[in-house]
């Protein structure tokens, strides 16, 4: 009995001694990784810190979209911090695209006084749920992916770096009607708010151009599209897929080829993902040129650095990088002016954002509603080797 006690005592003493010595701590130095400059940020580096909140579907069935957005946001924060010796932090709020969860996360961010601005939420329906909350508090929130047209009018503190359905629909429709001389187009939406909004907008534009339009709709969870594909009429010229998940479109395209359907696939910007969607001869539209195909070496370095750390990416990532940079830059400008990056100041600065260049290959500035100005759409065609070639 006594021996056990001594044994225990000895162990405790050894443990305490280790703690005491270990607490001296060894410091390793963080190796600063080499990354490209993100763009001009101003004359001198100024101390600045604060938290950016990000809301999106980081788990659940839309996690492929949310995780890509999250990784690019983290990348944006890290890159900016290294560039400008600042101390910004990212805080996550998982919403699983559910407006109920979004409206629970929103007050959490609001009560966190460190948060001066928000990136996201990702889905238009979430913005309906949180728009009032953020508007009341005067917090800027910049979405990288919500395209429902009227959102910027209804919510004052809402901004977005992507153009709306009202921009993309007519562009795609015009291309299909004129360049592709389509007589009959089948539009299949995937029952999400992004998809139905864009499908409606494109369908209206096509009908105005005198093209016959057929509508179908399919769930994102669908395992197999063969039955749907076999229902594609033989005289259909173009199948328009305003889908969010590129892998679904790849399967659809494979099954079209399997069944010998000749219609060409035209995808919206949700399908812009060279790794996931590479059906030869298909068209994809995007509001920004493929950043890996851009001439700008700075953007190329960013893309490469991102791929090294996080892996492949598709279409939702770079806009999130842009959105995060907009918010952080707004705070940084406040610091440069000698002010605290409070929510009002950040909101004002976001409104006056004026990047001459960005990762999206175009300048970023907002109009009075909060939409991005001068958004152009680019159309790509997929070549035999899977690469995307700009055709318009």
Partner 1 sequence: MEFFVQQLVNGVTLGSVYALIALGYSMVYGILKLLNFAHGEVYMMGAFIGYFVLVGLGGAASPILPVALVIILMFLAGMLGAGILGIAIERFAYRPLRNAPRIAPLISAIGVSFFLQASALLLFTAQFRTYNTPELIPFSVGIEVGPLRISLVRILVITSAIALMIALWLLVNRTRLGKAMRATSYDREAAAMMGIDVDRVIVATFFIGSVLAGAAGVMVGLVFGRVFHFMGFIAGLKGFTAAVIGGIGNIPGAMLGGLLIGLAEAFSAAYISSTFQNLIVFGILITVMLVRPSGLLGSPVLKKV
Partner 2 sequence: MPRIGTDEWVAQAETRTEHYRGFTAPARRVWDRVTPGARFALFLAVAAAFPFTTDSTFLQRVGVNVLLFALLALGLNIVVGWAGLLDLGYVAFYGFGAYAYAWVSSSQFDLHWPTIATIPAVVVASALLGVLLGLPSWRLVGDYLAITTLFFAQIFVELAVNLDRINLPGSDEPLNLTGGPNGIPGVDPMVIFGIEFLRVRDYFFLLLVVLALVVVGLYSLNDSRTGRAWRAVREDPLAAELMTTPVNRMKLLAFAMGAAIAGLTGTIFAAVQVGVFPQNFEVTLLIMIYAALILGGAGSIQGAILGAIVVASVPEILRTPENARYLFYGALIAVLVAAVRPWQRLAVLVGAAVAFGFAVHEIVALVWPDGVEAGTRGEGLGSLLDSWVVLPAVERVLIGNIAFVLLIAAVLALTQLRRDSRFLLLVPTIYLAAFVWENRLVFQPSVTRQLLFGAILVAMMTRRPHGLLGTPRVENPV
CA–CA separation, 228 and 226 (whole Å) = 5
**What x-and-dash track marks residues 160-189 binding partner 1 by CB under 8 A?**
----------------------------x-
Residue 227, interface with partner 1 (CB under 8 A)? yes
Sign of CA dihedral 296, 163, 352, 77: negative
CB of 109 vs partner 1, minimal distance in Å: 22
> Residue 216, interface with partner 1 (CB under 8 A)?
yes
The 3-state DSSP class for residue 4 equals helix
- CB closer to partner 2 out of 115 and 382: 115
Spell out, one character per residue from 65 to 104, where the chain touches partner 1: x when CB under 8 A holds, - when not. -xxx------------------------------------
CB-wise, 297 or 308, nearer to partner 2?
308
Residue 348: count other Cβ atoms within 10 Å of its Cβ. 15
Near partner 1 by CB under 8 A: residue from 11, 112, 230, 373: 230
Partner from partner 1, partner 2, none contacting 124, C-beta within 5 to 8 A by type: partner 2
Distance, CA of 107 to CA of 36 (rounded, Å)? 36
Return the number of the residue (121 or 314) whose C-beta is nearest partner 2.
121
Structure tokens, 13: 């003493």
* Binding status of residue 244 toward partner 1 by CB under 8 A: no
Size of the site for partner 1 (CB under 8 A): 35
Question: CB-wise, 6 or 297, nearer to partner 2?
Answer: 6
- Minimum distance of partner 2 from residue 191's CB (angstroms): 5
Least distance between partner 2 and beta carbon 91 (Å)? 8
CB of 133 to partner 1, least distance (A): 27
Which residues lie closer than 8 Å to 387 by C-beta, 6 or more apart?
274
**Which is nearest to 202 in space by CA: 287, 267, 271, 143?**
267
CB of 380 to partner 2, least distance (A): 27
Alpha-carbon span 1 to 4, nearest angstrom: 5
What is the nearest approach in angstroms of partner 2 to the Cβ of residue 54?
Answer: 10
Distance CA 183, CA 73 (A): 42
Residues forming contacts to partner 2 in the complex (CB under 8 A) are: 4, 7-8, 11-12, 14-15, 18-19, 21-31, 58-60, 70, 92-94, 96-100, 103-105, 107-108, 110-111, 123-125, 128-129, 132-133, 148, 191-193, 195-197, 217
Nearest Cα residue to 361 out of 271, 285, 270, 290: 290
Residues 6+ apart with CB under 8 A from 16: none
Among 36, 64, 91, 212, indicate the residue that binds partner 1 (CB under 8 A). 64
Q: Which is nearer to partner 1, 37 or 231 (CB)?
A: 231
> Which residue shows structure tokens 């992004």?
194
The residue (of 248 and 324) whose beta carbon lies closer to partner 1 is 248
- Residue 26 binds which of partner 2, partner 1, none (CB < 5-8 A, kind-dependent): partner 2
By CB under 8 A, tell whether 307 contacts partner 1.
Answer: no
Q: How far is CA 177 from the centre of its chain?
A: 29
Phi-psi region of 338 (alpha: psi -120 to 50; beta: other; left: phi over 0): left
Applying CB under 8 A, does 308 fall inside the site for partner 1?
no
The secondary structure of 144-183 as a DSSP string is: SS---TTHHHH-TTEEESS--HHHHHHHHHHIIIIIS--S
Cα separation of 246 and 386, whole Å? 14
Site for partner 1 contains 46 (CB under 8 A): no
Q: Which does 193 bind (CB under 5 to 8 A by kind): partner 2, partner 1, none?
A: partner 2
Q: What are phi and psi of 347, to 5 degrees?
A: -60, -45
DSSP code string of 311-354: ----SSHHHHHHHHHHHHHHHHHHHHTT----HHHHHHHHHT-E
Residues at the interface with partner 1 (CB under 8 A): 59-61, 63-64, 66-68, 188, 216-219, 221, 223-224, 226-228, 230-231, 245-248, 250-251, 254, 257-260, 276, 311-312
């Amino acid at each position: 009995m006594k021996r056990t006690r001594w044994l225990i005592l000895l162990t405790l003493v050894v443990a305490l001694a280790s703690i005491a010595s270990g607490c001296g701590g060894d410091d390793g130095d963080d190796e600063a990784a080499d990354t490209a400059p993100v763009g001009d940020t101003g004359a001198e580096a100024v101390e600045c810190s604060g938290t950016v909140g990000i809301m999106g579907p980081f788990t659940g069935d839309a996690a492929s979209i949310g995780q890509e957005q999250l990784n690019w946001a983290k990348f944006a924060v890290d890159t900016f911090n290294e560039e400008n010796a600042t101390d910004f932090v990212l805080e996550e709020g998982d919403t699983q695209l559910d407006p109920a969860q979004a409206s629970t996360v929103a007050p959490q961010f609001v009560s966190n006084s460190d948060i001066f601005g928000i990136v996201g939420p990702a889905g238009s329906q979430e913005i309906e749920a949180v728009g009032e909350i953020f508007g009341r508090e005067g917090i800027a929130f910049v979405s990288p992916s919500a395209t429902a047209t009227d959102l910027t009018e209804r919510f004052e503190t809402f901004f977005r770096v992507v153009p709306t359905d009202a921009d993309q629909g007519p562009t795609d429709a015009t291309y299909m009607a004129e360049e592709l001389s389509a007589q009959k187009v089948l539009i299949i939406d995937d029952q999400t708010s992004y998809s139905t909004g864009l499908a409606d907008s494109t369908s209206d534009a096509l009908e105005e151009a005198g093209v016959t339009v057929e509508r179908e709709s399919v769930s994102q969870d669908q395992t197999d599209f063969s039955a749907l594909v076999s229902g594609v009429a033989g005289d259909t010229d173009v199948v328009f897929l305003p889908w969010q998940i590129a892998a679904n479109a790849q399967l659809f395209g494979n099954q079209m080829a399997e069944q010998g359907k000749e219609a060409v696939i035209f995808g919206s910007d949700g399908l812009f993902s060279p790794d996931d969607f590479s059906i030869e001869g298909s068209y994809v539209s995007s509001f920004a040129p493929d950043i890996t195909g851009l001439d700008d070496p700075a953007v190329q370095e960013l893309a490469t650095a991102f791929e090294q750390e996080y892996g492949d990416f598709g279409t939702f990532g770079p806009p999130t990088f842009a959105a995060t940079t907009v918010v952080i830059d707004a705070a940084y400008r406040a610091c440069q002016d000698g002010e605290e990056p409070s929510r009002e100041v950040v909101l004002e600065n976001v409104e006056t954002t004026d990047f001459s260049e960005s990762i999206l290959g175009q300048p970023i500035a907002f109009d009075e509603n909060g939409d991005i100005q001068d958004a152009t759409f680019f159309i790509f065609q997929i070549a035999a080797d899977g690469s995307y070639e700009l055709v318009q």
